[in-house]
Every structure is written in C-alpha cells, then in structure tokens.
Structure 1
Amino acid sequence: MNTIRCKIEQVNAFNEAVYQVILTPEVAFDFDAGQYLCIVMGEQDKRPFSIASAPSQTTIELHIGAAVTESYPMQVVERLQNSDYIDIEAPAGNAQLRHQSERSRLLVAGGTGFSYIKSIVEDQIHRQQHIPTTLYWGCRTEEAMYYQSIAREWHEAHDWLTFVPVVEQANENWDGKTANLLAQIKQDYADLTPYDIYIAGRFDMVGAAREVFREIGVDEAHLYGDAFAFIK
C-alpha cells in the first residue's frame, strides 16, 4: 500500500450515526471498485474503511458508521472534523469487482457495508456493464438506510439493476421488505450457485451470511468479502 496525503474536503452527517467523508488525494492512485483504504491515526494505528467512490472519480468518498457510543470510529470522525489533511494507506483488499465476469451479480450490504457496494455499482455504471445485478441493503430501520435515495435512483435508471431494501422495523409508509436481511435472501433464492456474490457489513453478519448461503447453495469461489480474511 502507498501512503498518500489527502485534503479533507467534507465531513457531513448522513444521520446521527453515519458520516460521509470526501477526500482529495494529493497524488492520484489506482484502486479497484470494492477495495478499501486505511486512515492513518498513528504509526501503529491504521483504521480500514471501504472506498465508496468508483475508481473513475477524482475524489475519495468514505461512509463512517460512528454512533456517539462507539469511540473507535468517532475518534476518526473527530480527527477528520478538526484537521485539514489526513494520511491514508491505499489500496487494500481482495474483494474487488471481477468486472470481466459475465455471471449475474448479487450485492449484499448490511448498514455501512453499503459503501463497498456503492463503489461496485458506480463502477458498473461507468463501464456501461448491463450484467443482471440485484442489490440487497439491510438496516434496522428506514432512518438507518442513509443513502436510500441513490440506490432507488439506480433502480429507476438502470433496467439491469434491482434494488431490494430490507428493514427489520418498518413504519406504515415503508416501500420495501420488512424482515431480517438474511432471512429475506433465503426466502427469495433457492440456489445461489450461478451468482457472483459481493458482501459487506459487520463481521458477525457476514459470517452468518456465509452459513445461510451454504444452506441454499453457493459457489464459494465466487463469494467475495474482505471480512472473510478475518473470520473463520
């Protein structure tokens, strides 16, 4: 990975628990959609975040889930809010989009795992790929689905992309599925063998997802998620 100094352009709150960060690197660097970077907090303190922007963009976007009760990510947000520049190390990760593959794609995001998926979808759009793609995004509530608007815009603009929003607690006007994310996928699919699957979210969710996918058939050579490097 390269160490790159970045100008901090914006730190905006999507909601009370998720922040959007926009960085401009002083030196352009190559990365693949679906990779991540590390914010350098100290020589031995480097914290990973998915890159939410596509490689074709000149700025770098991050989504940082940082509720006030979670000191680890809030320390990063506070550093960004109170600095003009930050060092990053990039790129990292092996769960990048296999854009040469012509297999149908299933994208699965839990919470701020959507940042990983956003980079992949925007790269598909940039490449003008029309491979059938279904995006599931699961959150506890609609309010937690912080970038629902852009996902619905993709759904409307691209006939190859289907967006399936899933929340566990819905209000009466909710336009989506009300269920546990993994239970909804298990209900919707009898066999995942034909799919390239890209997944991001909390480690416990990603680990549970792999077990669910195994139950309904999955070709694990086509199951991509950087969390798998850290969980058994």
Structure 2
Amino acid sequence: MSYTVTLSETSDKFDVQPNEPILIAAERAGLQLMHDCRFGGCGACRIKLLDGQISYEEPPFGLTEEEHNQGYALACQALPLGDLTISAQLRPAGFISADYHVATIQQLEMLSHDVTHLVLHIPTASEVSFHPGQYLNIILDDGSPRSFSMASPPKGDIFDLHIRRVPGGFFTSRLESHYQVGDILDVELPLGNFRHDVDSPQDLLMIAGGTGLAPIKSIIESLRSDPTTRRIMLYWGVRRSEDLYLDELLHQWARELPHFHYIPVLSEADDQWQGARGYVHEAVCRDHDDLSNFDAYLCGPPPMIAAAKRELSLRGISVERIFADSFNFTHELDGSVA
C-alpha cells in the first residue's frame, strides 16, 4: 500500500511507500525538492504539512520544536502516515549541478591558533557560477568528502576557505603537517542551498559562530558595491578574543561601509574585553526587541542555530525568513571526522 503526496504549489502528486522518506519518493517521481545533507541536520529540505501526518525514526536536529509545532517537517526524514498535502520549495530551473574539478593549493597560512586560510586555484571552475554562501567538497584519497564553505564571492578561479582544526581530524590536522603550496586536491562544487535572497527588501541580520563566518563573509563581500543593499548587521560569536581571526578586516568594513555594522561577541571574555559578552544570539536579543524588519542568515554549530531560530522567531522574524547553514555536513553526521 502506498500513500499520495500532493504539492500545493503545483498540484503535482507522487506516491510514497510506508517507511519511505518524502524526499526519496519525490526524487523517484522526478521532482527535485530543495535539500542538502539528507541526514536531517541542515534543514534545507524543510516542508510544511498542510494536511496529513508524518513520523520520524528519530527527531531530526535540523528542525526546532517551534518549527515542528508550526507544522514544518524535514522531507529527507519525514515518513508519511497516510496521504499528505505539503508546501515545498522545488529547485529552480536554473539550478547549477555540482561537478568535479582539480584544485591547486595556492596559499596556506594560519589565521589564528586553530583556523587555517586555504586558498585554492581551480582553473576549470572559472566559468562556474555559484551563489555566495555555498560550499565545496574536498575529496580525500579514499573518496570521502570534507565540506567547507567558500569565504570569497564568485570571482573567477580563486576560492578562499576558512578551516578550523578539528581535534583528531584526519584532514584538518594534515593541513599543518602534510599539505603544502602547489599540492593538488580533487574538489566538488558548488553545493548547498544557503544564499542571500536578492529579491527581499528586508534588512539583513547575520549571525555567525566561529568559522561560520566564511559563507556570511562571501555574502557580505558580494554586496559591498551594490548601491541597493539594505542595512547589514553582523554578529560574530567566538569564545575568546584570539578567535576573532578577521576582526580587523570586519572593523575596517564597518568604517568604510555606511550600511554595515559589526558586533563581535565573546562567550568566554576576560576582564580586558569591552565588547558584547555571552552567546551570540543573546547579544542580538539584548540589542533588539523587534526584528520584524530583518531577514536572518545563520551559520555555525547546530546548538547555536537552534537557539537563534527560537529567539529570533519570538522577536518577529518568521520561520520562512530565517536562512540557516548548520555546520553538520555528511562527513560529520555519518560518524567520520574532518
């Protein structure tokens, strides 16, 4: 026995088998729903249930309790319990599929005690269009991927990455001891659905945790010369002042760009720190009671994303206007280490 799922936007219908995720059934029917990690971590495949019920084998951590209570579900994990009507976003007609390329390490330097600046030269990617905010995969010798957001905007064949060292991580630890300028890496790009909604008239609230700054930086840099850019407020949360590896650059941008505001936030500040303290989403909430004029762009670890989503929705930002890139790609979710 199968169930029928109907897309409210297009009236398309497809069948799904019991205990089969909605995303898998949609793909079998030739419908490309928006998605990314497939593990329930990123939230990119979020749909809204208009009629019917679903279940999960395990609650996905890419969906907050507030989103669940409002009728949202993640298509990659949701199992229908009967016929459904859903609202879902399809991949646009001009969607750019990822492809494989050969990259050369052009620059390799430490930005801080645990963040490496990796610059890749990818000649065959010079004509590849990607959206600021997307990421690429570095493919290791065993074929496993390591995912890193592109910190630079689309500008030809040079790609910047900010890579935080993961304790015990195979790839990130070898960046310091094994790889050197001139080495060759296999890469896959572009990937991911995190990007700026260029058609929105709202101001931009950007919240980054650690190296979650990378895709946020790509978006901001792509908007620097745009005269129509609305106000941009960037809150960057790290533990200590030495973790603010691009602090000087961001302060410079704040001085140069009248529409850009930068607030660094330390969760483990010492007595010398004169700026914002605590968790980054708490600093946002202290500064703003009403955020209804903003779209929110969040990038960082899953607990930060979940906490920020919850608090921002209480201050006037609808779930549909909160865009998130949670740092929990496939290689982290399936148990391997970066």
TM-score > 0.5 by shorter chain: yes
- Contact map agreement 1:136 1:163 (CA 8 A) in 2: yes
1:104 aligns with 203
Moved over 6 A (4+): none
1:161 aligns with 260
Query: SS at the partner of 1:21?
Result: strand
User: How much has 1:137 moved relative to structure 2?
Assistant: 0.3
Within the alignment, does 1:60 sit opposite 2:175 as a pair?
no
Aligned letter for 2:169? S
The equivalent position to 1:184 in structure 2, one of 270, 283, 300, is: 283
Within the alignment, does 1:71 sit opposite 2:140 as a pair?
no
User: How much has 1:177 moved relative to structure 2?
Assistant: 1.2
2:302 aligns with 203
User: How much has 1:175 moved relative to structure 2?
Assistant: 4.5
Separation in 2, partners of 1:96, 1:201? 14
2:217 aligns with 118
Within the alignment, does 1:39 sit opposite 2:138 as a pair?
yes
Aligned letter for 1:102? P
Question: CA deviation digits over 1:93-137, x for unaligned, max 9?
Answer: 111112232210001100000111110110001434431110000
1:194 aligns with 293
Question: CA deviation digits over 1:185-216, x for unaligned, max 9?
Answer: 11112232321111111122112211222233
- Contact map agreement 2:151 2:159 (CA 8 A) in 1: yes
User: How much has 1:83 moved relative to structure 2?
Assistant: 6.2
- Between 154-163 and 209-218, report the one with greater CA deviation: 209-218
User: How much has 1:226 moved relative to structure 2?
Assistant: 2.8
1:222 aligns with 321
Separation in 2, partners of 1:26, 1:161? 33
Give the count of matched residue pairs: 229
User: How much has 1:85 moved relative to structure 2?
Assistant: 1.2
* Change beyond 3 A, Cα 1:12–1:229: closer
Separation in 2, partners of 1:181, 1:59? 31
Separation in 1, partners of 2:228, 2:180? 37
TM-score (norm 2): 0.63
- Contact map agreement 1:194 1:219 (CA 8 A) in 2: no
Separation in 1, partners of 2:225, 2:168? 35
User: How much has 1:170 moved relative to structure 2?
Assistant: 2.7
Aligned letter for 2:148? F
1:20 aligns with 117
- Contact map agreement 2:105 2:181 (CA 8 A) in 1: no
- Contact map agreement 1:110 1:200 (CA 8 A) in 2: yes
Q: How many percent identity over aligned positions? A: 28
Greater helix fraction, Structure 1 or Structure 2: 1
Query: SS at the partner of 2:224?
Result: helix
Aligned letter for 1:119? S
- Between 136-145 and 122-131, report the one with greater CA deviation: 122-131
TM-score (norm 1): 0.90
CA RMSD of aligned residues (A): 2.2
- Contact map agreement 1:114 1:137 (CA 8 A) in 2: yes
Question: CA deviation digits over 1:159-199, x for unaligned, max 9?
Answer: 10010111123344434212221111111122323211111
- Between 153-162 and 127-136, report the one with greater CA deviation: 127-136
- Between 12-21 and 167-176, report the one with greater CA deviation: 167-176
Within the alignment, does 1:7 sit opposite 2:104 as a pair?
yes
* Change beyond 3 A, Cα 1:150–1:80: same
Separation in 2, partners of 1:143, 1:54? 25
The gaps in structure 2 that reach 5 residues or longer are: 1-97, 330-338
Q: Which has the larger radius of gyration?
A: 2
1:139 aligns with 238
User: How much has 1:80 moved relative to structure 2?
Assistant: 3.9
- Contact map agreement 1:31 1:55 (CA 8 A) in 2: yes
The equivalent position to 1:89 in structure 2, one of 166, 188, 199, is: 188
Query: SS at the partner of 1:204?
Result: helix
The gaps in structure 1 that reach 5 residues or longer are: none
Separation in 1, partners of 2:157, 2:227? 19
Q: Which has the higher contact order (CA 8 A, sep 6+)?
A: 1
